[in-house]
Structure formats: C-alpha cells, structure tokens
Amino acid sequence: MRYGMVGGGDGAFIGAVHRSAAALDGRLELVCGAFSSDPERSRRSGAQLLLDPGRCYASYEDMFRREAALPPDRRMEFVAIVTPNHLHWPVARQALARGFHVLSDKPATLSLDECRALRDALRDTGLLYGLTHPYTAYPAIVEARERVAAGELGRVRKVLVEYVQGWLAEPIERAGNPQAEWRLDPARAGLSSCMGDIGVHAFNLAEHVTGERVVALCAVLNRTVDGRQLDDDGAALLRFASGAHGVLSASQVCVGEENDLRLRVYGERGSLDWRQQEPNSLWLRYIDRPAQLVRTAAPGMGPGALAATRVPAGHPEGYIEAFANLYRGFAARVAAFPERADAANGEWLPVPGIDAALRGMAFIEAVVAASASDAKWHAFPDV
C-alpha cells in the first residue's frame, strides 16, 4: 500500500517515528511527500529517503493535485500528517477534497470549531480518518481495556492518569530548539502546550481504557518558566458520566523525568496499573486475592492483546511497535475500503478516529477555559 507524508522532514522527530512504524510490517511504502514548507528542505528530505525526485513536492497543495492526477495504481492511497498543530486541519481538508484518506497526528485541529468542520468533511466525502494516539495500541493497554469492559474490576470508581516529562524545565526554545519552539508558540501549537501535547494523550487513554466519558472538569494550568506564552504544567479533576472521579496530571518541567505516562484505574473489586516506561507489564490487584502481573505475550492475555503483540514474551515492545499497530489497523481499513472498511476496523485493533479527535480537542479547550475561570466545575463541551 502506498502512502505520502506531509511534514516530518530532515531534523523532525515524529516524522522518523511514523516512517519506522509504517515500515515495520513491510506492507506500506512511502512514495511521496511534502516534507517541509521550505521547498529545498522538502526535496533534500525526500532524497535522503531515496524517493523519486519527481514526487518530493514543494508544497502539500502541489502534492495532492499531482498525486490525484496519477493512475490509481501509482498514486498514494492515504496521507500521514506529521506537521505542527496549526497545519493539521488545512492539510486534512485538502487531502479529503482530493480523495485521499487521512492519518493525522494529534490534536486533529487547532480548535474545536475546526474539528467539527473536519467531522463534516468526513461525512461529506465518506473517506477514512485516523488519529495517532499510539498508547492505545500497546498490548497491555488492549488487555486492560478488555478486562475493564468484562467487569473484572467492577464498577469504576477512580481514575488516576499522569504524563510527566522534564525536557522543558529550561527555556530551550530560546536557544533555538525547533521542537520546543513550535510547541510553545500559540500560532502553531494552539491554546495549550502541555495539555495539547501530552495531557490530551492522558485524557484519551483514561477514556479509552475505562470506556467512561468525562462530563465535567476543573483545571489549573501553569507557566513555570518565565516568559512563556503557553502552559508547561497543569492538572485537572475529572467527573465521568457513571459517577466515577479522576485526576489528570501533566507536566513538561519535572526535572529528571523522561516520558512517564501512567494509568491507574480503581474499581469496586479490583484495580489496574500500567506505565509506558515499562510497557510490557500490567499489574492487576484485587480485593479478595493476590495481585497478578500480566506480561505481554505471556499466558493469560486475551485475544485482542495477543493480536497486538509482535514478538515472543521477554522481548521488549514499545513505542514504535504500538505506532506500527495503528498503521497496520489503518492500512487494513484502507485496503477494505469502501466495501468492508468498518468490518476491517472491527476485525483487528481499533484506530482512534474522529470521535477521539473531537473529544481530545474539546478537552484541550475545556481545561484552558476552566483554568482561566474562577468557577470550579465546567461542563464538558457537547461533541
């Protein structure tokens, strides 16, 4: 299957992650790209990837126009969007208008209004859309979701989710770090840095694993480094529709922390605990029996988790493999489109789509509004 890429040129972190993940199964080929808003950098990036020079485009507009004109057996079949946030919706809009499926980094858009426009465009075109929340695709997370859905923990009472990093503890954006620069620039990142970049992953994971939906929240966002326009730290209290409560904490200024995403879910009869920095381990604890450590690929895992597992037990699996699971799932839907696209998604690991996009963008806007308000609780936006 052929795909193209917008963004992710020379020096960009996430583009290389996407390409590595897409290549892992040997079923996808990167055939074209508009890798940078700088035409020369885009061409140079394509040359480094050994692409046909004629398909290393100066702009995404040119790429969509020229790819659409190619014969069906040559043109790309979907596009991966790996740009800064402000371009996610403009690129997706043009891709859909030209007939291409879209797999996009999060957040899907720069605002909730844009996300609703994306939803309408998907309804109008009938094309496929995926959002790269890779943490949902770890085998242990698949297992956790299945156990909660089966009622193993009983009714969910409490959810604790945190995502902490330390890479922005100093003002590295002022020293020219490109990854920090755009994430702290409101014009490119949107309303939030910390919550828009990593807090939204924590929010998505909490709803995904529990199957619960947040209906209200209160929040505080902080700018701990002087001179920053956007938050680099924050927290939110969550109320779920079922009556469960949650606490979400996200920070990019915790000195010494790497990329520590942790989820704990507490039910009436049991609890679970998972950390992204030890992704092959899922702890289950019960009110009436000993704790259980479930390991990826080991006996006791359910069929969904085993389908998401790539190597035998004891071989570490992590971020790239989880990302690759999303690419595999999205490619299966594209291959089955249009006759069996929905069935293909149900036959293997679900890929977050427009619902996750709307929920994530609503979360970002809600925490920003709640933090700026003196009121305590704020209803979650109707999406």
Give residue 344's pLDDT: 53
The answer to whether residues 156 and 265 touch, using CB atoms and an 8 Å cutoff, is yes
Residue 170 phi, psi (nearest 5):
-115, 160
| Assigned token pair, 130 | 């995926």
Say how many C-beta atoms besides its own lie within 10 A of residue 348's C-beta: 15
Give residue 11's pLDDT: 80
Residues across the chain = 383
The answer to whether residues 359 and 207 touch, using CB atoms and an 8 Å cutoff, is yes
Residue 76 to residue 70: CA distance in whole angstroms: 9
Give residue 13's pLDDT: 87
Give residue 355's pLDDT: 97
All structural domains of the chain: 2-127 (3.40.50.720), 136-311+359-370 (3.30.360.10)
Identify the H or E element spanning 357. helix 354-372
Spans of the chain below 70 pLDDT: 340-348
The answer to whether residues 295 and 280 touch, using CB atoms and an 8 Å cutoff, is yes
What does DSSP say about strands 129-131 and 101-104: parallel, antiparallel, or unpaired?
parallel
Could you give the angle at the alpha carbon of 347 between the alpha carbons of 240 and 4, nearest 5°? 90
Residue 318 to residue 279: CA distance in whole angstroms: 6
Give residue 341's pLDDT: 58
Residue 32 to residue 21: CA distance in whole angstroms: 17
| Assigned token pair, 365 | 């806007």
pLDDT digit string (tens) for 258-270?
Answer: 999 999 999 999 9
Could you give the angle at the alpha carbon of 208 between the alpha carbons of 348 and 117, nearest 5°? 90
Give residue 314's pLDDT: 87
Residue 53 DSSP one-character state: G
| Assigned token pair, 374 | 């003196």
What helix, strand, coil percent values describe the chain, rounded to 5?
Answer: 40, 20, 40
Give residue 59's pLDDT: 97
Give residue 381's pLDDT: 95
Residue 79: name the closest of 103, 46, 52, 105 by CA: 103
Q: Rounded to the nearest 10 degrees, what angle do helices 200-210 and 139-149 cross at?
A: 50
The answer to whether residues 297 and 284 touch, using CB atoms and an 8 Å cutoff, is no
